[in-house]
């Protein structure tokens, strides 16, 4: 599992391991596609229900059942379970993470977020913000709705809001 539900779901999609039918051991995702808000693990399923184990449920672990047709389920991420254990050669040196490598990875991730399309559910709000000039996009014309907002960008939005 990843650090955020939508991030994890996107990981499985990019890896070609995101499905709409469950298997035991899958990671189940709930919420709008692309903006998943909750996750759990598939414990079992039958012809009508998927049975899950979930955290962040009233500060405890919960066992739940959902209809397979539940519209709140966006899909299932299927981890790659190796059929045999992978033996790591202790003689191999691990590649150290440097600040330069981290920055490169972070910049690539931010660029990928900037390229993502906005979710359909926010269309009316996006049109409003663009019409009023609160969201203008970058030099490439991208509106970057899936990219995290920096403080610098936030104050620019505030400035545009109050300068009118």
Quick one: pLDDT at residue 135?
85
Sign of the alpha-carbon torsion through 148, 151, 152, 156? positive
User: What is the mean pLDDT, run by run of 10 residues, along the chain of 164 residues?
Assistant: 75 91 94 86 95 83 92 92 68 70 88 84 88 85 84 84 78
Quick one: pLDDT at residue 113?
84
Tell me the CA distances in angstroms from 131 to 57, 135, 153, 160, one per residue in order. Answer: 40, 8, 18, 12
Quick one: pLDDT at residue 3?
60
- Residue among 75, 80, 53, 57 at smallest CA distance from 65: 53
Contacts of 103 (CB under 8 A, 6+ apart): none
User: Residue 50: beta bridge partners?
Assistant: 45, 66
**pTM of the full structure:** 0.50
Class of domain 5-77: mainly beta
Looking at the chain, the domain(s) classified CATH 2.30.30 span: 5-77
Quick one: pLDDT at residue 90?
59
- For the chain, the first-to-last Cα distance in angstroms comes to 44
């Amino acid at each position: 599992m990843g650090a955020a539900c939508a991030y994890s779901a996107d990981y499985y999609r990019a890896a070609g391991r995101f499905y709409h039918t469950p298997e035991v051991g899958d990671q189940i995702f709930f919420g709008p596609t692309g903006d998943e808000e909750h996750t759990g693990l598939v414990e079992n399923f039958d012809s009508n229900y998927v049975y899950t184990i979930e955290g962040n449920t009233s500060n405890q672990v919960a066992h739940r059942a959902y209809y397979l047709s539940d519209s709140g389920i966006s899909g299932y991420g299927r981890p790659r379970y190796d059929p045999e254990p992978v033996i790591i050669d202790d003689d191999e040196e691990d590649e150290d993470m440097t600040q330069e490598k981290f920055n490169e990875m972070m910049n690539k991730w931010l660029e990928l977020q900037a390229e993502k399309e906005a979710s359909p559910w926010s269309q009316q709000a996006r049109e409003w913000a663009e019409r009023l000039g609160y969201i203008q996009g970058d030099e490439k014309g991208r509106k970057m709705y899936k990219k995290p907002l920096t403080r610098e960008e936030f104050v620019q939005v505030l400035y545009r809001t109050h300068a009118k």
